[in-house]
C-alpha cells in the first residue's frame, strides 16, 4: 500500500486506505500529536493522547490553540513559549518541561516540532503552505521489578 509511486498514478482507494491507516495510528499511539498552521495559529488536529498526558480536553485547543501552555509549569512557561514561537517560524525545536495537570499531578514532557510544507489547494508550483507537527510524550520509565 505504501509504495513510492508518482502521486498522479495513485488511485483514490489507495489514498483512502492510507488515510485510514494514518488516522488509526495517530489515534492509538501514546505520544501526543498536534498539527498546527502558524499564520494564523490554528489547531488542525490533536490526537486523543493529549487528554491522557495533559489531563485536559482536546476541544479547548480547537477553540484556543495555545491552551496547552496553561498546563506548563509557571517557571518554564516563557521559555517553552519562546521555543514554540521558533517552531512557528519553521524551525525544528526540542524542549523538555514539566506540566501541571488539572488534578495537580506533575508530568515531565519531552516535546519536539517539525515544519511540514504542504501544497495549497490550487496546486500551483511553489504554492506551499507551512504546517507544524508538534509531538509531546512522557519520557519512558522502566517498570519497577517485582520483588
Decide if 26 is inside a domain: no
Q: How do residues 62-116 score in pLDDT, each as one tens digit?
A: 999 999 999 999 999 999 999 988 988 888 899 999 999 999 999 999 999 888 8
CA separation for the pair 63, 93 (Å, rounded)? 24
pTM: 0.74
In a domain, 7, yes or no: no
Evaluate whether residue 109 is within a structural domain. Answer: yes
Q: CB–CB of 128/118 below 8 Å?
A: yes
Q: Going by DSSP bridges, is the β-strand pair 106-119/93-100 parallel, antiparallel, or unpaired?
A: antiparallel
CATH number of the domain residue 93 falls in: 3.30.450.20
User: Is 115 inside any structural domain?
Assistant: yes
- Name the residue range of residue 77's domain: 34-137
2 inside domain: no
The tally of domains found in the chain comes to 1
Q: Is residue 4 part of a domain?
A: no
Amino acid at each position: 500500500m505504501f509504495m513510492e509511486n508518482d502521486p498522479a498514478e495513485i488511485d483514490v482507494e489507495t489514498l483512502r486506505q492510507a488515510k485510514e491507516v494514518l488516522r488509526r495510528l495517530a489515534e492509538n499511539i501514546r505520544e501526543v500529536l498536534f498539527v498546527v498552521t502558524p499564520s494564523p495559529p490554528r489547531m488542525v488536529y490533536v490526537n486523543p493522547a493529549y487528554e491522557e498526558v495533559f489531563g485536559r480536553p482536546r476541544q479547548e485547543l480547537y477553540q484556543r490553540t495555545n491552551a496547552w501552555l496553561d498546563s506548563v509549569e509557571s517557571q518554564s512557561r516563557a521559555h517553552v513559549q519562546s521555543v514554540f514561537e521558533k517552531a512557528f517560524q519553521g524551525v525544528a525545536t526540542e524542549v523538555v518541561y514539566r506540566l501541571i495537570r488539572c488534578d495537580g499531578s506533575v508530568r515531565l514532557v519531552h516535546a519536539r516540532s517539525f515544519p511540514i510544507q504542504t501544497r495549497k489547494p490550487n496546486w500551483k508550483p511553489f504554492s506551499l503552505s507551512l504546517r507544524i507537527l508538534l509531538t509531546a510524550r512522557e519520557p519512558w520509565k522502566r517498570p519497577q521489578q517485582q520483588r
